[in-house]
A and B are shown apart, each in its own frame.
Chain A
Amino acid sequence: MSDGIETTWRPRSAWAGIAPVGRHGRPGGEPGLTLTLREEFGLATLIAVKGRTDALRQVMDARFGWSLPDPGGANLTGERGLVWSGPDQWLALFEERREMAGLGQALEGLAAVTDQSDARAIVRVSGPDARAFLAKGLAIDLHPRAFQPGQVAVTALAHMGAQVWQRDAVPTYDLAVARSSTGSVWSWMSHAAAEFGYDVRNAAP
């Protein structure tokens, strides 16, 4: 049994030691964008069992009140909801990790559920220059006529795998990357954001 075993291990942010909180880049004036380091979220991939997508749709609606997004869509309310990530595949997002309890059992026989909370790192990109900033690294059209709130793209940021969804028209985007790539991602971000001036914050607890 693990009861009573003491450990010195402590939870560590995906961005710890990589992304320094504070004002950076172009000095003076309002920052062009804010980078908010997300923490404590729950994240799982759902892959529908062949032929069970409709049943999965019903259970997600009945249990969570969430609707499965169409390809390229993100159905979010606040910090919770579903984001499309491939044919018959979605990301389930929860504000807190403990909300995920029971997800696997609820979807047994309908979807393969894999906890990704520790596998991905998420940074929220928001501000008047957020679009110009991301456009430097994403080879997709971010113009509002092509990409709007409620849309998602699985693509690459500076050649590193990334999933990006738009939350609002500020614009605000959430960018999910492999946790192991945060050092390289931040190296690109800090250089790409410098010209706009940027604030780095930790997500409110």
Chain B
Amino acid sequence: MRIRCPHCGPRDNGEFSYLGDAAPIRPDGMEAPPAAMHDYVYLRDNPAGPHRELWYHGAGCRSWLVVDRDTRTHEITGVSSARDVALSRRTGEVA
């Protein structure tokens, strides 16, 4: 499997580390009820199909990436910088 890093180009997956689902957004810990924090910390979907996930390019540019991967085929349909995703989330644009 290769991941096309937006900074470095296509690289072997051995250069990357997998973190997990990119969807959860940390609730405000001072405001959120325990159930919301429990969901954020522990509960993950485990889809057979398209999955949006976080990878770290540790042996390359040391950037966090958001990767759209099909868990059945490992087909990767999109890679973007996690920083850009977070910034666009903050400004309300779609990454």
List residues of A whose CB falls within 8 A of some B CB.
Answer: 71-72, 85-87, 89, 139-141, 153-156, 159, 161
| Cβ–Cβ < 8 Å partners of A85 in chain B | 61
A-B pairs, top 6 by smallest CB distance, nearest first, are A86-B61, A139-B12, A156-B59, A154-B60, A71-B7, A87-B7
Give 10 CB contacts A-B under 8 Å.
A72-B7, A87-B61, A87-B81, A140-B11, A141-B10, A153-B60, A154-B60, A154-B61, A155-B60, A156-B15
Number of residue pairs A-B, CB distance < 8 angstroms: 38
B26 interfacial contact with A, CB 8 Å: no
B43 interfacial contact with A, CB 8 Å: no
A72 to B8, CA, bound (A): 6
A155 to B62, CA, bound (A): 10
| Cβ–Cβ < 8 Å partners of B59 in chain A | 155-156, 161
* Distance to closest chain A CB from B63 (angstroms): 6
* Residue in chain A with minimal CB distance to B13: A139
A141 to B60, CA, bound (A): 14
A141 to B10, CA, bound (A): 9
